[in-house]
Structure 1
Amino acid sequence: MPTSPTDLSCAPYSGLRVLDLSQGIAGPYCAQILWQQGADVVKVEPPDGDWGRHVGVVRDDQSALSIAYNVGKRGVCVDARQARGKTLLADMAGRADIVIQNFRPGVAERMGVGYDGLAERRPDLVYVSISGYGPDGPYAHAPASDSVMQADSGLMYANQTPAGEPRRIGLLMADIATALYAAQAASAALYQRARSGRGQHVQLNLFQACAALQVNDILAYGIAGEREAVAVSAPNGVFPTADARLSVLALNNDQFARLCRALDRPEWLADPALSSNAARMAQRERLHREMAEQLALHPASHWEERLSREDVLHARVRDYDGLAAHPQAAHLGLLEPLAQPGGTPLPYARAPGAAARRPLQAAPAIGQHTVEVLTEWGVAPAEIQAMLQAGVLRQADAGKESL
């Protein structure tokens, strides 16, 4: 398996302090990507925790969603509804290199951690704000979720059935895409700070991120005036074999010729009705019917060998067990064991491209590192204890700490 350095001196953000005030997916995943690049990420949660902890499949009081986007962070629990907690939160933000929040417009300001107030004290601060629709405008305060955004931004339209029925994409696509754009924009802001010493207020919203994700389809619609829910070439589809399903396609004449050789179909090559992609698109139903009949005669392994021999574009349609068993997944170390409380290690897929591969650390319990982090960040021990006793802070019980 290829390896990458584990020495954090190789990581570009080693020593960088990130204060993650966000909840859910877009903000937390942005912060988690920065952790994978070497940053020290402190996750601050209210006493009830990030709402993402309780959504979907849950193990040991933490959902798969919460684990996925908070691996490696250190957890601090602060009740910012109390005056002392609000003051502490602002003090922590003033000590960070990056602050990430994804509240609705105005909430961070009411919590005392809005950009303007912090930037007066720290003009070099990189501050990332993620919202649903942006800081102002007619939809600025509208509630937003991944499903809402997939509907409102055209993603469901892009994923319509051949009959034209809009469908939600079966991933948290709006949130995940926004997180990736946010991590890139934060990196650009850090580069600007390194050159000029100036910080930046990075503002993103899910609505814009979903539009950017669809730029090609939006342009194609602008040219054609409509969107057809069909493939761009033929043959191009998923076909059942005797024991599994294969995705098989040809994008141009050369690839079609290779497919004809793999399937032993010289008559297709000689057919003038199949001489170009446009012609083949007109014959798509015929091609797909004949391919489906042929591929169903033998197991997937038989066709994979023939298609690979001719370098035809194809892949077995896999579930997640199939992904784990993929030979290339084993070679790359694609799914790493994550020791997370509550059971056996879980398979974790890192963001690609990191210069150093940090050892994985479990996503924290609520307030798991409260005392450790605040002591490290310069809060007096007596003050920490007083706030713990007053319920302003929470330190997780030892039994809730990560392995």
Structure 2
Amino acid sequence: MEQNKKRLPLEGIKVVDLTRVLSGPFCTALLSDLGAEIIKIEPPAGDEYRHVGPFKAGESALFTLVNRNKKGAVADLKNEVDLSRVLEMARDADVFVENFKPGVADRLGVGYDAVRAINPDIVYASISGFGQTGESSQLPAYDLVVQAMSGMMGITGEPGGEPTMVGESIADLVAGLYGSWAILAALFDRHRTGQGVYLDIAMLDCLFSMMPTPVAQWMFSGKAPGRVGNRHPLSTPFGSFTAPDGRVIIAILNNRQFGALCDAMGRPEIAADPRFRSDEERTRHEPELRDLIESWLADHTVESAIKALSDARIPASPVLEMGDALIRARTGERQLLLTQCHPRLGDIPMMVQPVRASAWATSAPKIAPQLGEHNDELFG
């Protein structure tokens, strides 16, 4: 390879992917973005996400997004011939990923022991809702269930209102992200030690680990936090504020920023008010401070308020609707969506991995496979 030619860091890594729906496919999609060869094995009926809309020309948008860059084959693991084909494929693989309900992979003959018997160096990852062991391991693991059990719903929503789910399948996605991270760490460890490893990745564990703020609130006080709406539970003013034509996000973390905010509002004396002299005091008197800020915003549009705050180097932003965020993702300099030419759908926007690296190649993702598209190539 030429010295200056850009590369993909996982080129040459082979992954056998027996996952479906979201957590597992998202995990392997992230690996595929970095150049790994992903061989997606589906049952004859296909991944459930093939049958979940929205659809266009019979193609699922969700399936297309999270199964980019993969090769696809169909195998009935209850059929001895198909099972032997999958195990043979695992013989020279680097990684094996499954997200069956705990115990199912073993019963089907593709559990860790079966795969390790033919490939002792394999990195084997199992993604499940609640882990491979314990009293909750056999519970159904839908994202909403995990959000509810993690406590995340309990701290999301308005004070006194109902617990609220995050507006995306965050438990699935976080488990997939942690899964890809753990697989990369395991590959690095294998390079040093020559040993494979088994990875037990639980959606609940992963989602809980994403909540250091409520843990910090509880850690010294012993009191579990509740819902605080669209503001930060520990810092003030840090949240969403009302302007005549929309909402403005203001994020203040220290006294210097607060002083700059008071100056920008034309009210420098507020910074010396005993109620607002520290972050702790500002949080204690949040309603009074909110009234002062929204009185200032009453004479501004969202645009003019953002300009005044930005000129004062205060972290601030509008609250974008998803349509506006999608336009920015597609047309912005960071190129979070790239155009892919689909043989049946034409040009479609596709998500890409967001990390930029000086020596890594970036290209439009390849289309998700048709059901069994690569059977001949992979099984001969």
TM-score by length of 1: 0.85
Q: Which amino acid aligns with 1:345?
A: I
Q: Which amino acid aligns with 2:361?
A: A
Counterpart for residue 104 of structure 2: 107
Retained in 2: the 8 A contact 1:133–1:142? Answer: yes
Counterpart for residue 221 of structure 1: 218
Counterpart for residue 66 of structure 2: 69
CA separation in 2, counterparts of 1:338 and 1:320? 21
2:341 maps to 1:339: yes
Aligned pair in 2 of structure 1 residues 329, 287: CA closer, same or farther (>3 Å)?
Answer: farther
Using the TM superposition, name which of 141-150 and 239-248 deviates more: 239-248
Retained in 2: the 8 A contact 1:56–1:63? Answer: yes
CA separation in 2, counterparts of 1:104 and 1:328? 37
Secondary structure at the counterpart of residue 148 of structure 1: helix
Aligned pair in 2 of structure 1 residues 241, 14: CA closer, same or farther (>3 Å)?
Answer: same
Gaps of 5+ in 2: none
Aligned pair in 2 of structure 1 residues 158, 140: CA closer, same or farther (>3 Å)?
Answer: same
Retained in 2: the 8 A contact 1:324–1:330? Answer: no
Counting only pairs closer than 5 Å after superposition, residues 351-370 of structure 1 correspond to structure 2 as 351-353=354-356, 355-370=360-375
Structure 1 residue 328: Cα displacement: 11
Out of 248, 262, 265, the residue aligned to residue 263 of structure 1 is 265
**What is the Cα-based RMSD across aligned positions, in Å?**
2.3
Aligned pair in 2 of structure 1 residues 360, 6: CA closer, same or farther (>3 Å)?
Answer: farther
Aligned pair in 2 of structure 1 residues 6, 154: CA closer, same or farther (>3 Å)?
Answer: farther
CA separation in 1, counterparts of 2:322 and 2:106? 42
Q: Which amino acid aligns with 1:70?
A: N
Retained in 1: the 8 A contact 2:244–2:298? Answer: yes
CA separation in 2, counterparts of 1:282 and 1:361? 52
Identity of aligned residues (%): 32
Matched residue count? 370
CA separation in 1, counterparts of 2:113 and 2:246? 57
Retained in 2: the 8 A contact 1:6–1:358? Answer: no
Counting only pairs closer than 5 Å after superposition, residues 168-183 of structure 1 correspond to structure 2 as 168-183=165-180
Out of 342, 348, 351, the residue aligned to residue 348 of structure 1 is 351
Q: Which amino acid aligns with 1:211?
A: F
Counterpart for residue 17 of structure 1: 14
Aligned pair in 2 of structure 1 residues 268, 69: CA closer, same or farther (>3 Å)?
Answer: same
Out of 304, 316, 320, the residue aligned to residue 314 of structure 1 is 316
CA separation in 1, counterparts of 2:299 and 2:352? 36
Secondary structure at the counterpart of residue 180 of structure 2: helix
Counterpart for residue 130 of structure 2: 133
Counterpart for residue 371 of structure 1: 376
Q: Which amino acid aligns with 1:190?
A: L
Using the TM superposition, name which of 162-171 and 245-254 deviates more: 162-171
Out of 55, 58, 64, the residue aligned to residue 58 of structure 1 is 55
TM-score by length of 2: 0.90
Out of 88, 92, 97, the residue aligned to residue 91 of structure 1 is 88
Counterpart for residue 274 of structure 1: 276
Structure showing greater relative contact order (alpha-carbon pairs closer than 8 Å, 6 or more residues apart) = 1
Gaps of 5+ in 1: 380-403
Deviations 1:129-177 (A, max 9, x none): 1112222221222211101111112121121421153221111111111
Structure 1 residue 325: Cα displacement: 4.3
